[in-house]
Amino acid sequence: MPATIDVEKAVEAAGGEQEIEFKLRRFTNDVRCLQSIRQDLLRQYKEHWVAVYEGSLAAHARTIEELRQQLSKKGIPVNQAVIDFMARERKAMLL
């Protein structure tokens, strides 16, 4: 059962089941938030990167590097924010 042990260690390293569930719920809510305000963001921040965290717009910038710097300055974990590029035509990207 090595695979089970590895999963248990990974869950523990991530802060436990409750922490994982909390972060997944927050991420899901942030995705919904971004979807609900996307048209407004497209008008205001066309050709900008935006980040949503804890249900609101956390940062916007012309480059992904600038966006990451802004998030870091605010103490927002970059890997927990929902990040998207505001363009009329959507493209798939791996960040």
- Going by C-alpha positions, the residue among 21, 30, 73 that lies closest to residue 51 is 30
What is the tens place of the pLDDT at every residue in 4-52? 568 888 888 888 889 999 999 999 999 999 999 999 999 999 999 999 9
The owner of tokens 């869950």 is 11
pTM, two decimal places: 0.80
Whole-angstrom distance, CA of residue 30 vs CA of residue 37: 11
What is the tens place of the pLDDT at every residue in 43-85? 999 999 999 999 999 999 999 999 999 999 999 999 999 999 9
Q: Which residues are bridge partners to 42 per DSSP? A: none
